[in-house]
């Protein structure tokens, strides 16, 4: 993995229409110094000053084309920006002619294309264009308002962050009387000065963790520029960058740590000792030997800490850094007991998503995302079998997916309980095993983060996950090293995350549209209590369905040009990636260009797919999908008994919820004036972390009253279902109902328990367990009274009981049978149904009966 930077700074211009930028050379020199410093940026830097268009284009194309998938690229442009008559942005080079920007400048779209074709998935661009560093004297402007997006317009795409110096779109070259530069010859521009100082003195390290991320750098630049120049507002545009993208180290962190380490190990405040230990992690990786030696000495002192968690973390950190045997008697301290105590005090929330998965924990103050070992805040939910038989998980699987689509498992959780599998070179992968591998990767990353064993987890699931899918998920999690404390519905966890941050009493609806599932939850929040009123969803609907429509649309467009695109894996994967990128772009733009060179061979030779898709045609073509989204929202209102207009707030979450058509649809159904999009993409994981904190007792600011999604009933004679546990009942709870025999002297009652929408067709219900109550007291039909009970605990585990009332004699136990629903009971019930040709034909052998207090007296 390489870190490479390209700086292009032009201060002089051949065309007199472009004024000189006297500080451009200083920009390049100052920025190169901090980026190249191994203690700060560690970049391999190339600087081009006063460069021609041809030389700049060659350098730019080579810069992006030669990058590897894991390389971090940083491009900084300190030049004039110029928009032509068609409002297209061009970067002005030394020999650019204003009259011919298309031929003599560098189009922003061309730079964007190079970035798109680059194999690097981590690209940062900083634009210090001249009009961003100038302000108009006397209030003269070409436009009366300042658009929210300017130079980032043509820079949208995958894996990129763009920081610009300003949002203004005023022309930069009116006349010397109207324009003056905010730069001077002696120092860098305000923008670049903030950039350089933020890295150089570490002031951009906002959270004090010793590293500077893109977001931290932007926050620092934004504050510094706003303070220095009135009317200039830097902007940040981030697209499809997962995780925290770090650019540099804080050079002051090492000095601060060295000064504080001596006393920190003996500080009376535990939190200060924890902070100092955390700070040592970066110091141990310093390029300076003396710093490393001081950090190792401090780490040894922390191994003697009276707090077992601190001592354990210090020992784990020593071994993680490969420092060898721990010297002296400290090796014997701590041990398994303290590691076990640390493990028991931590529980995490896991969002096992269709597209990405993430882990969070509650630290006593807030829910924190646990980055994976590559620094990302989420891990792709992908598993692949490589050509050599090795199995790849997460980001490694993502990086090879386009070359190996047939043997890359995606949307794994949707395949649970389906019997899906793939095989390559003797290596077989089914949905349960793929799930286990993803969860095992999350487990390793979590334990690496904490430095000790972590077992307990809350795992989120789609609302309509059936019992078989839930059981397979729990089994996979157990094999991966987790102990599942509870399964939680995804939108319910999102409500928990929102409830922590807002104190108003209100009724909210969470609309969670992910890559493969749609979940809707309606809840009431107030006085620290989150009560779920209804939960619905569509387990077969997600953002992938919109991608699928686009792929079919692309194939249709190609056919209209006389090219029938082949169905091979490579073409399919390129179309799929282009569809996903277009869908994302159409969420913020009216149209998206799709360019796929050499996609196939047509009648005239190589076929290059180059079409523009508009948002309007995209939305027209997917009206059916939008209508499918509408139904669960309406069903949630109906199930909760809430009229439109009562909803105070709608929360849109999930990656696919960014599509503009969804918001007005949800507004129209719910009548809600407020739509909230502020929940972070990992909001489901943070909500699950709060649930975990509640169970451990560390989070006391909220109480979640969860409900069961599906009802539970028992099969009566002739295929009729008798409800026992109603849908959307607050759990835990225990409820009972009653049945009786249908024949005189009937010796056995076969009680088939099912789960689902009990108001719908019987065949849509899912079997849970078959309980056979034998040895009934011989009585006329309708006289024996059998109590059927459903006990659902807080984990939503079902415990079923059938009891013959008045069957006990001489004080003995009653005649009863019971079962806890698991894979075995489900398989036995399914076999029973198969043997009788389905639910409607199964002999229930019981009839409904009133409760004892409502039965007529015996004659």
pLDDT of 472 reads 92
Per-residue confidence (pLDDT) for residue 819, from 0 to 100 = 93
Tell me the C-alpha to C-alpha distance, in Å, between residue 156 and each of 111, 160, 587, 659. Answer: 11, 8, 11, 16
- Is 758:765 a contact under the CB 8 Å cutoff? yes
Which residue bears the tokens 């990129």? 160
The rounded distance, in Å, linking the Cα atoms of 162 and 155 is 8
* Domain boundary assignment for the chain: 3-248, 251-344, 711-854
The per-residue pLDDT for 321 is 61
Distance, CA of 98 to CA of 171 (rounded, Å): 13
Second-level CATH architecture of 711-854: Sandwich (2.60)
Please tell me the predicted confidence (pLDDT) of residue 242. 58
Give the pLDDT confidence of 221-271 residue by residue, as tens digits.
988 888 877 667 787 876 655 567 888 988 876 444 444 444 556 666 665
**424-431 CB contacts, 8 Å cutoff, 24+ apart:** 424/385, 424/387, 424/389, 425/385, 425/387, 425/389, 426/389, 427/385, 427/389, 427/391, 429/383, 429/385, 429/391, 431/472
Residue 326: per-residue pLDDT: 66
Kindly write down the DSSP assignment for every residue of 49-65, as one continuous string.
ES--HHHHHHHHHHHHH
Half-sphere exposure of 848 (CA within 13 A, CB side): 12
Residues (pLDDT < 50) of the chain are: 131-158, 168-187, 254-262, 287, 328-341
Decide if 3-248 and 711-854 have a common fold.
Answer: no
pLDDT score recorded for residue 142: 28
pLDDT at 762: 67
**What's residue 857's pLDDT?**
62
Tell me what pLDDT residue 265 has. 60
Q: Does domain 3-248 have CATH number 3.40.630.10?
A: no
Q: Residue 791: what pLDDT?
A: 94
Confidence at residue 672, expressed as pLDDT on a 0 to 100 scale:
81
Q: Which of 366, 354, 817 is nearest to 545 (CA)?
A: 354
| Calpha distance 317→284 (Å, rounded) | 9
pLDDT value of residue 719? 73
Q: Rounded to an integer, what distance in angstroms lies between the CA atom of residue 274 and that of residue 307? A: 10
Three-state secondary structure of 407-451:
HEECCHHHHCCCCCEEEECCEEEEHHHHHHHHHHHHHHHHHHHHC
pLDDT (tens digit per residue) in 9-36: 998 999 988 888 877 887 888 899 899 8
The whole-number pLDDT of residue 60 equals 94
Per-residue pLDDT, 131: 44
Question: Which residues, in sequence order, are CB contacts of 11 under 8 Å at separation 6+?
Answer: 20, 21, 22, 23, 24, 25, 49, 50
């Amino acid at each position: 993995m390489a870190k490479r930077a390209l700086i292009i700074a032009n201060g002089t211009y051949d065309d007199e229409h472009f004024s000189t930028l006297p500080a451009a050379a200083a920009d390049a020199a100052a920025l190169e110094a901090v980026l190249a410093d191994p203690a700060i940026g560690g970049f391999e830097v190339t600087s081009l000053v006063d460069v021609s268009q041809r030389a700049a284009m060659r350098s730019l194309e080579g810069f992006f084309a030669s990058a590897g998938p894991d390389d971090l690229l940083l491009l900084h442009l300190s030049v004039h920006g110029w928009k032509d008559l068609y409002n297209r942005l061009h970067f002005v080079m030394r020999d650019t002619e204003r009259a011919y920007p298309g031929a003599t400048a560098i189009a922003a779209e061309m730079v964007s294309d190079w970035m798109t074709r680059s194999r690097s998935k981590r690209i940062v661009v900083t634009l210090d264009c001249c009009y961003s560093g100038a302000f108009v004297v006397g209030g003269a402007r070409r436009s009366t308002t300042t658009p929210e997006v300017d130079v980032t317009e043509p820079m949208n795409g995958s894996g990129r962050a763009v920081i610009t110096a300003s949002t203004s779109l005023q022309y930069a070259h009116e006349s010397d009387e109207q324009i003056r530069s905010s730069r001077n010859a002696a120092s860098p521009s305000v923008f670049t000065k903030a950039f350089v100082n933020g890295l150089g003195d570490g002031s951009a390290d906002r959270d004090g963790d010793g590293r500077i991320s893109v977001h931290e750098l932007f926050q620092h630049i934004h504050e510094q520029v706003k303070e220095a120049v009135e009317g200039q507002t830097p902007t940040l545009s981030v697209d499809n960058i997962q995780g925290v993208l770090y650019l540099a180290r804080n050079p002051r962190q090492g000095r601060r740590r060295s000064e504080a380490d001596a006393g920190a190990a003996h500080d009376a405040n535990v939190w200060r000792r924890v902070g100092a230990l955390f700070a040592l992690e970066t110091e141990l990786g310093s390029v300076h030997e003396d710093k490393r030696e001081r950090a190792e000495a401090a780490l040894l002192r922390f191994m003697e800490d009276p707090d077992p968690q601190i001592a354990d973390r210090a020992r784990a950190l020593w071994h993680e850094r490969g420092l060898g045997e721990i010297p002296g008697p400290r090796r014997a301290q701590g041990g398994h007991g303290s590691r076990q105590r640390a493990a028991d005090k931590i529980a995490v929330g896991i969002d096992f998503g269709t597209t990405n998965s993430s882990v969070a924990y509650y630290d006593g103050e807030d829910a924190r995302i646990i980055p994976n070992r590559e620094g990302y805040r989420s891990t792709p939910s992908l598993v692949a079998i490589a050509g050599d038989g090795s199995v790849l998980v997460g980001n490694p699987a993502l990086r090879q997916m386009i070359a190996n689509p047939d043997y890359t498992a995606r949307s794994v959780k949707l395949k649970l309980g389906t019997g899906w599998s793939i095989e390559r070179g003797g290596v077989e992968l089914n949905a349960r095993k793929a799930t286990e591998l993803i969860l095992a990767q999350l487990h390793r990353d979590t334990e690496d983060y904490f430095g000790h064993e972590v077992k307990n987890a809350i795992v989120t699931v789609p609302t309509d996950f059936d019992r078989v899918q839930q059981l397979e998920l729990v089994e996979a999690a157990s094999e991966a090293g987790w102990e599942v404390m509870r399964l939680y519905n995804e939108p319910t966890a999102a409500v928990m995350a929102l409830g922590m941050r807002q104190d108003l009493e209100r009724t909210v609806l969470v609309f969670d549209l992910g890559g493969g599932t749609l979940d809707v939850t309606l809840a009431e929040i107030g006085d620290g209590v989150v009560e779920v009123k209804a939960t619905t969803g569509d387990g077969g609907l997600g953002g992938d369905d919109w991608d699928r429509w686009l792929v079919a649309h692309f194939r249709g467009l190609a056919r209209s040009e006389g090219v029938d695109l082949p169905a091979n894996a490579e073409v399919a994967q390129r179309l799929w990636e282009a569809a996903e990128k277009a869908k994302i772009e159409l969420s913020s733009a009216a149209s998206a260009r799709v360019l796929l060179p050499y996609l196939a061979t047509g009648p005239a030779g190589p076929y290059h797919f180059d079409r523009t898709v508009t948002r309007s045609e995209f939305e027209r073509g997917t009206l059916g999908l939008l209508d499918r989204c509408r139904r669960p929202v309406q069903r949630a209102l109906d199930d909760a008994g809430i009229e439109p207009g009562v909803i105070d707030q709608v929360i849109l979450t999930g990656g696919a919820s960014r599509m503009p058509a969804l918001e007005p649809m949800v507004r129209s159904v719910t009548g809600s004036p407020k739509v909230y999009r502020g929940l972070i993409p990992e909001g489901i994981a943070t909500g699950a972390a709060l649930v975990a904190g509640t169970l451990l007792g560390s989070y006391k600011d909220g109480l979640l009253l969860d409900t069961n999604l599906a009802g539970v009933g028992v099969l009566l004679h002739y295929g009729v279902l008798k409800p026992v546990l109603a849908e959307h009942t607050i759990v835990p709870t225990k409820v009972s109902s009653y049945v009786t025999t249908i024949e005189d002297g009937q010796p056995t009652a076969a009680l088939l328990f099912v789960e689902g929408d009990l108001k719908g067709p019987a065949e849509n219900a899912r079997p849970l367990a078959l309980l056979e109550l034998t040895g009934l007291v011989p009585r006329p039909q309708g006289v024996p009274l059998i109590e059927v009970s459903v006990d659902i605990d807080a984990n939503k585990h079902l415990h079923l009981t059938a009891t013959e009332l008045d069957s006990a004699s001489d004080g003995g136990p009653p005649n009863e049978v019971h079962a806890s629903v698991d894979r075995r009971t489900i398989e036995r019930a399914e076999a029973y149904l198969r043997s009788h040709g389905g639910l409607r034909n199964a002999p229930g052998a019981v009839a409904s009966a009133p409760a004892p207090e409502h039965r007529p007296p015996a004659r």
